Amino acid sequence: MTLIPGDGIGPEVTLAAQRAVDATGVKIDWRRCELNEETILRKNEVLPPEILASLNRTKVGLKGPVTTPIAGGFPSVNVALRKALDLFANVRPVHTLKGVKTRYQDVAIDLIIFRENTEDLYAGLEHEVVPDVVESLKIITRKASLRIAEYAFRYARANGRRRVTAVHKANIMKLSDGLFVRCARETALQYPDIEYKELIVDNASMQLVMRPEKFDCLLMPNLYGDIVSDLTAGLVGGLGIVPGANVGEHHAVFEAVHGSAPDIAGQGIANPTAVMLSAVMMLRHLGEREAADRMHDAITQVYQDGKHLPGDVGGTASTAEFTNAVIRLIQA
Ligand code: ATP
């Protein structure tokens, strides 16, 4: 297994997840790869070949966040990795976690975001046309749109989900988002057992805040997927608890929705739940169902007990205290 701790809170939360996975008894040979702001600046390389070589060998990785400089600096490592390994599907399950106080105490939120992971405005094609006028290119292709739509519908069918809603802005971006939506419609025809709906992204944002319990699978291009992921994380208690997977044909890299959270890095207070739940997804991907269930149940039990909750969800437990509580239950 390739383990990329990343930077910011990455090393703290990935260590927590690694300890919890090891506690399940599944024997994993962790290949630790350093990839963070410091190594990138030192090597002057966003994605050093040894990282790709490790992932090409192991096929599966658990990754912490890597800081992306804002308005300048080197390009996003996270985006570069997704592109390099063609990890086209970003899958982010967002569930109510009993024991976490939210504004939605009376409803159960259980939705999954399927975010196209390789193109859209993340293509990184920007240039200054003339001074003070810049252009960013939004790339949408039939191939990538069909691929993520097919992944979402296939997942929905295999996992007993009922509905896929494509989220777009095709009323304005008639060509680019129009193509995305046409690909979703075309795919939906092959899945008559799954209900298909469409929502314009602004309306989807409002509906998600008003009636989050109504949503099932959400299919969207890259940028809306990024923004709506954080919105939905906010519905269930914040970024500390929402996991994710980047899946391609040959590789899968599991990572939380959150970033490197520099504001709390190094303090030992980050919530490791999101990376732990990403590791649960990883165990399922590896076919380790029993261990995945045990780890998942231990995490949810700690929340229900309410004695060792991290600060971001209203508790006072440190990263290590929360992790130890999870490990005690895994081993019970
Ligand atoms: P990126 O754009 O790289 O995804 P971001 O802009 O979404 O990053 P984050 O680094 O995810 O920003 O942090 C957003 C806020 O959420 C910060 O206040 C941070 O402290 C908080 N946060 C993120 N992850 C966690 C966590 N695991 N535990 C506690 N708080 C977190």
Q: Is the CB of 68 under 6 A from ligand 1?
A: yes
Locate the ligand 1 atom nearest the alpha carbon of residue 274 and give its number: 27
Please tell me the predicted confidence (pLDDT) of residue 72.
Answer: 87
Q: Is the CB of 263 under 6 A from ligand 1?
A: yes
Q: Are the CB atoms for 25 and 284 separated by under 8 Å?
A: no
- Give catalytic status of residue 169 as yes or no: yes
- Per residue in 166-225, pLDDT (tens digit) is 999 999 999 999 999 999 999 999 999 999 999 999 999 999 999 999 999 999 999 999
Please tell me the predicted confidence (pLDDT) of residue 124.
Answer: 84
Q: Which amino acid is at 228?
A: V
Q: Are the CB atoms for 173 and 121 separated by under 8 Å?
A: no
**3-class DSSP state of 195:** strand
Q: Is the CB of 10 under 6 A from ligand 1?
A: no
d(CA 199, CA 63): 32
Has residue 73 got a pLDDT over 90?
no
- Give catalytic status of residue 122 as yes or no: yes
- Per residue in 93-125, pLDDT (tens digit) is 999 999 999 999 899 999 999 999 999 999 889
Name 87's bridge partners.
none
What is the arithmetic mean of pLDDT over 21-48? 94
Pairing label, strands 126-130, 133-136: antiparallel
Instruction: Check residue 21 and report its DSSP letter.
Output: H
Q: Is the CB of 294 under 6 A from ligand 1?
A: no
Q: Is 6 exposed, middle or buried (0-12, 13-18, 19+ CB in 10 A)?
A: buried
From 151, 226, 303, 312, active-site residue: 226
d(CA 114, CA 244): 10
d(CA 139, CA 326): 43
Residue 157, token pair as written in the block: 């069918």
What is the arithmetic mean of pLDDT over 83-102? 96
- Can 1-94+238-332 and 102-236 be said to share one CATH topology? yes
Has residue 75 got a pLDDT over 90?
no
Locate the ligand 1 atom nearest the alpha carbon of residue 230 and give its number: 7
293 Cβ neighbours under 8 A, 6+ residues apart? none
What CATH topology corresponds to 102-236? Isopropylmalate Dehydrogenase (3.40.718)
- Per residue in 237-263, pLDDT (tens digit) is 999 999 999 999 999 999 999 999 999
From 63, 169, 224, 303, active-site residue: 169
What are the DSSP calls for 102-144, one per residue?
-S-TTS--EEEEEEE-S-BGGG--EEEEETTEEEE--B--HHH
Domain regions of the chain by residue span: 1-94+238-332, 102-236
Position 3 confidence tier, pLDDT thresholds 50, 70, 90:
very high
Q: Is the CB of 258 under 6 A from ligand 1?
A: yes
- Give catalytic status of residue 226 as yes or no: yes
- Give catalytic status of residue 303 as yes or no: no
Measured at the CA of 130, the angle between CA 127 and CA 133, to 5 degrees, comes to: 70
What CATH topology corresponds to 1-94+238-332? Isopropylmalate Dehydrogenase (3.40.718)
- Dihedral sign of CA atoms 198, 202, 203, 209 in order: positive
Rounded distance from Cα 99 to ligand 1 centre (Å): 21
What is the arithmetic mean of pLDDT over 266-295? 98
User: Which residue has its alpha carbon closest to ligand 1 atom 9?
Assistant: 259
Please tell me the predicted confidence (pLDDT) of residue 14.
Answer: 98
Has residue 137 got a pLDDT over 90?
yes
User: Which residue has its alpha carbon closest to ligand 1 atom 19?
Assistant: 261
User: Which residue has its alpha carbon closest to ligand 1 atom 1?
Assistant: 259
Please tell me the predicted confidence (pLDDT) of residue 203.
Answer: 98
